[in-house]
Amino acid sequence: MGTTGLLLIGFLVTHLAANLLVLVDADAFNHYGHSLTSNPLIYIAEVGLIALFVGHFLTGFLVERGNRAARPSAYGNVQRAGGKSRKSLASSTMILSGIVMLVFVPLHVAFFKFGPYYESTVQPGVRDLARLVIEEFGRPGVVAWYEFALFVLGAHAWHGIGSAFDSLGISHRSWIATGSRVLAVVLFGGFMIIPAVIYFGGAS
């Protein structure tokens, strides 16, 4: 689970860098999207991403089931762990945030991959994906859903990145835990900026 999680985070870093283009250069964003979808290797990459996503969810489910089997009866009195414990709201709700991810990711991919097709007026034969993004993030309900889902996924990453390093046995340095949380904030904060900026008129 730690390995698949870190690989997915690596993908999200590149995904964010590309998505931020829509705020500064719509044509460059469209060109980037076209270069990906027109590459025959995209199908192999998509299968790999699906495998990572499904693998991460299934291993998370198995870990959660194993935890419940190890303690079939709930605690009679739940209190804050205190001290050096890493327990937090994010760590206690990983399965719930994982379910949000299971709903959000397929919906996000399905819409932007198979949603309305606009052809670029500047680059004939290129899909105007920027127009689709701007139209979608002009709808308050869509923006509210994205901001909620991305915040939840950010909380998942807040605990998950450091936990992944724990699982791999390389979290003995304090800067790894701090760096993991900074990465989660920067990464998902970056994703949350996009719909907010577009909705409030920062992109056109």
Give the amino acid at 151. Answer: F
Q: What angle is formed at CA 13 by the lines to CA 10 and CA 18, rounded to 5 degrees?
A: 135
The pLDDT value given to residue 128:
95
- Residue 25: the pLDDT is 94
pLDDT at res. 129: 95
Concatenated DSSP letters of 46-108: HHHHHHHHHHHHHHHHHHHHHHHHH--SPPSS-----TT----HHHHTHHHHHHHHHHHHHHH
Helix, strand, coil fractions of the chain, as percent rounded to 5: 75, 0, 25
pTM: 0.84
Over the chain (204 residues), what is each successive 10-residue block's mean pLDDT?
91 95 94 92 92 90 78 61 60 84 92 91 92 95 97 92 83 77 95 96 69
pLDDT of res. 172: 60
